[in-house]
Structure 1
Amino acid sequence: MPVLPPLPGFMTIGRRVQVEPPMRPIRQALVNCGAYVDGRRDSTCGDPVSALNRVRTQGSGFVWVGFHEPTYEEMAAVTETFGLHELAVEDAVHAYQRPEMDKYGRYLFIVLKTVEFVEHATANSQGGVVVSSGEIMVFLGRDFIVTVRHGEHSELKQLRTALEADPDQLTLGPAVVMHAIADRVVDEYVSVVAEIEEDIDELETAVFDPDEYVDTEQIYRMKREILRLRRAVTPLAGPLKSLSNQPNSLVPDEVREYFRDVEDHLSHVAERISTFDEMLTTLISAALAEVANRQNQDMRKISAWAAIALVPTAIAGIYGMNFDNMPELHWQLGYPLAILFIIFVCSMLYLFLRKKRWL
């Protein structure tokens, strides 16, 4: 019998046929690479290594390289040519870093936390997460800037386009790009804080509304998101203060003035976050007090109805005893009068307890 060739996607092992796994598409970690001379992008920019060598040969301009969730292998050429420290590259590849700024030789390594507000419908499907976070790592040198982004939001494509439309700014060097990224991140903080403020106002209204019930878990969840936002905002104050106040050969004086504005916006965001934390703590106490108050009201209602039910129970219990010599036992009007007496006493108790606001 002739042997047929294997079908596409299959390979034969002995007499068995094994399905080959489908080829996975190769993810492109290098998002963009641009060489900028006199504020304008060089259209002939190839790979980052050749771009940096050309800029250093000309003695002017800088290179901006952008990565998205790269691996060590994908950053190997840039790491070697740009002279990046292995510890900084390790932090950039692994992510989940605290906002910070470190100096390695002739360049700076800066970590920025990015945030994004998640709508309520999407947040419920993600386990109640209201604030989604990511990271942007920046290697800032004299003639280069390397950005490593983690997360699906905070893309830098529009930011790069806006900067390329203003060549005068890019002539100041890569520090302008660093400022634009920091300004973009802090602006995201401002927008997220505004969204959270609306949610806190709704929670506050619901807590003090007697017709609505607010689960304290909702407030705790919001407090957890505020903590997530605080971890992104608070540690960034130190690096921004250093960039705006301390002279640095990598940051021109003109750019340092812009960093002061970013630092001011960040301080306002930090103050609002602290206020939100205090408000949520107060709302938790108010919600717990409201729950305790409603429980007391329920117990009073139960006790009031139990007191009213005690009257017919006691009268029926007395006349239900099996004794021969009992008063009114053979009286013809005894039964209707007992019923009327029960109704009268229960009505008086109901009016009395209603006046006392137990019912």
Structure 2
Amino acid sequence: MRTRLYRNGRLQKEGFPVAEVSDYVADGDNVVWFDLCAPTVQELDAIGEELGLHELAVEDVSSDHQRPKVDVYDNHLFISVYAAHLDGETLDLCEVDIFVTANALVTVRQSDRFDIDEVVKAWDAAAPHLAGHGVSFLLHGVLDFVADGHLSVVQELDAQAEDLEEALFEDRPARGRELQRRMYSLRKATVRFRKATMPMRDIVGTLRRRNQELVAAPAMAPYYEDVYDHVLRTAEWVESLRDLLANMRETRLAQQGFRLNEIMKRLTGWAAIIAVPTAITGFYGQNVPYPGSGEAWGFWTSLVLVALASVGLYVVFKKKDWL
């Protein structure tokens, strides 16, 4: 558990017990932040009592796999977002729940995969006058870190899609199964990522409204606009990436159909070549007299006919690009 106390935009204290939070938030000039990582139900209930949080919001934190959203209550906001990280072809999502009151911000991480230290560094590196905007400033730091992470992930997904697009037209049939597996993994990761990023537009859009008094500091409006711009870029990029993957899948199916036609065309050509010698030898194998029957020149004549017919059919099929 990490705690911080700001007063008039300046950091005053760190590492104090959560039991002291209610004493600090009683003073309107104080702003309190504390962070919980995978808390127990008892810890969440204690926080709810300290800050007067709605029981439904506390219950949502305990429930797994919440959808990204923002809920507006009488005295606080409840925000649920997902931080994303791409490890190779595996998309890792970490749920982050946020309680926002008039002068307190609570971040609840479901695991330590969300690096809260980077958020703290961003707060400390910001211009000193911004910290004076209290909760609005702190919330912006968290959402900005999440939105930037989403933008980085979609860039990596797009780079992988470009690699797949190049491999799609390589003339290496032996890699077909591996290519199909990578395409499926990338499509699956994109669908999961889309579910985490698309609702971010509504979340940040709600916070940008001027009637949202908890975070509507006028000086912070451009910074929330910047987060909203990143969110829109990510959402549009994910949509275009999904369309690209769908086109790649259709192209792959068309390639397989074309290749199957090529194989059938070749097999048909070779079957025709084989059929002519079979017809000739079958004719000569009939139990009737024929020119050269019982003579050596008759045997050699049949061989010449087989060879000429086969070569002639091969040349014709080759010119027609059937072989």
Question: Could you tell me whether the CA contact under 8 Å between 1:39 and 1:164 is conserved in 2?
Answer: no
Question: Cα distance 1:165–1:117, how it changes in 2: closer, same or farther (>3 A)?
Answer: same
Aligned to 2:115: 155
Structure 1 unaligned blocks of 5 or more: 1-30, 121-129
Within 5 A, what are the aligned runs for 1:115-264?
A: 115-120=84-89, 130-166=90-126, 167-211=128-172, 214=176, 215-216=179-180, 218-251=182-215, 252-264=217-229
For the pair 1:348 / 2:308, whether they are aligned, the reply is no
AA matched with 1:356:
K
1:316 matched to 2:281: yes
Q: What SS class does the counterpart of residue 42 from structure 1 fall into?
A: strand
TM-score, normalised relative to structure 2: 0.91
The answer to whether the 8 Å contact 2:48/2:58 transfers is yes
SS at match of 1:147: strand
Kindly state the Cα deviation for residue 254 of structure 1 after the two structures are TM-superposed. Answer: 1.3
| Displacement of 1:328 | 1.6
Q: How far 1:59 sits from its partner (Å)? A: 4.1
Distance across 1 between alignment mates of 2:234 and 2:14: 42
State how many pairs are aligned: 318
Alpha carbons 2:122, 2:141 under 8 Å: kept? no
Structure 1: distance between partners of 2:230 and 2:76: 26
Q: Which moved more, 1:102-111 or 1:243-252?
A: 243-252
More displaced stretch, 101-110 vs 327-336: 327-336
Cα pair 2:2 2:15 within 8 Å, conserved:
no
Q: Which residue of 1 aligns with 2:51?
A: 82
Q: Residues 318, 93 of structure 1: CA spacing in aligned structure 2 closer, same or farther, 3 A cutoff? A: same
Task: Identify unmatched segments of 5+ residues in structure 2.
Answer: none
Q: Do structure 1's residue 91 and structure 2's residue 60 form an aligned pair?
A: yes
1:42 and 1:233 map into 2 onto residues whose CA distance is 35
Moved more, 254-263 or 289-298: 254-263
1:66 is aligned, of 30, 35, 40, to: 35
AA partner of residue 255 (structure 1): M
Q: Return closer, same or farther for 1:42/1:52 CA change in 2, 3 Å cut-off.
A: farther
Query: Residues 275-304 of structure 1, C-alpha deviation per residue, up to 9 Å, x if partnerless?
Result: 112222222221111111110000000001
CA contact 1:300–1:358 (8 Å) conserved in 2: yes
Query: In structure 2, how many angstroms separate the alpha carbons of the residues matched to 1:289 and 1:54?
Result: 66
CA distance in 2, matches of 1:75, 1:160: 22
| Alpha-carbon spacing, 1:70–1:161, altered in 2? closer, same or farther (3 Å) | same
Counterparts of 2:37 and 2:119 in 1: how far apart (Å)?
Answer: 15
- 1:33 equivalent to 2:17? Answer no
Counterparts of 2:95 and 2:79, CA distance in 1: 10
Tell me the amino acid that sits aligned with residue 93 of structure 1.
S
Partner of 1:16: none
Counterpart of 2:23 in structure 1 is 53
1:3 maps to what in 2? Answer: none
Q: 1:335 and 1:139 mapped to 2: Cα distance? A: 96
Give the match for residue 296 of structure 1: 261
Q: How far apart are 1:237 and its partner, in Å? A: 0.8
2:291 and 2:298 in contact (8 A); partners too = no
Distance 1:110 1:44 in 2: 24
Pick from 248, 258, 267: which aligns with 2:232? 267
The residue matched to 1:74 in structure 2 has which SS?
helix
Amino acid at match of 2:271: A
Offset at residue 154 of structure 1 (A) = 2.3
Distance 1:45 1:310 in 2: 88
CA–CA distance in structure 1, aligned partners of residues 28 and 244 of structure 2: 55
**Which residue identity is paired with 2:20?**
S
Give aligned-pair identity as a percent.
29
Kept in 2, the 8 Å contact 1:179–1:258? The answer is yes
Check the 8 A contact 1:244/1:257 in 2, yes or no. no
Give the Cα–Cα distance (whole angstroms) in 1 for the partners of residues 209 and 48 of structure 2.
30
Contact 1:52/1:63, CA 8 A, preserved across alignment: no
What is the CA RMSD across the aligned residues, in angstroms?
2.0
CA distance in 1, matches of 2:42, 2:223: 36
Q: C-alpha separation between the residues in 1 aligned to 2:188 and 2:239? A: 13
Q: What secondary structure does 1:224 align onto? A: helix
